[in-house]
Amino acid sequence: MYLLIIAVVVLMLKIYDIPPVNSWLWMEVLLPSFMALLWKLWADWSGYTRRRLRARHARRRSARYVQDKGLCKINATPRPPSR
């Protein structure tokens, strides 16, 4: 994501002819875009994206479990003793 943001900023600086980027070659300007593409391809190929997604879901699931467990304790009303 960071590479993509950098690529867009550098590309806009080149298009609007703002120094020092206006003196750079187009290959230098497009390098962050190419690196972002390579990162995306590698992350999908290696399973990095899927592992991060599973970890995020596991964190959310455990947080929901803890929250629900806490709500059950709060809402539980004690029963009066039976006679």
Could you read off the pLDDT of 6-63 as tens digits, one per residue? Answer: 999 999 999 999 999 999 999 999 999 999 999 999 999 999 999 999 999 999 999 8
Domain ranges of the chain: 2-73
- pLDDT of 70 > 80? The answer is no
Closest by CA to 39, choosing from 63, 9, 5, is: 5
Angle between helices 26-46 and 48-75 (to 10 degrees): 60
Rg of the chain's alpha carbons, rounded to an integer? 26
Tokens representing residue 41 in the block: 């391809």
Asked if pLDDT for residue 1 goes beyond 90, the answer is no
Both tokens of 15, joined, read 């298009």
What pLDDT sits at residue 71?
A: 72
Helix, coil or strand: residue 24: coil
Confidence (pLDDT) at 73: 67
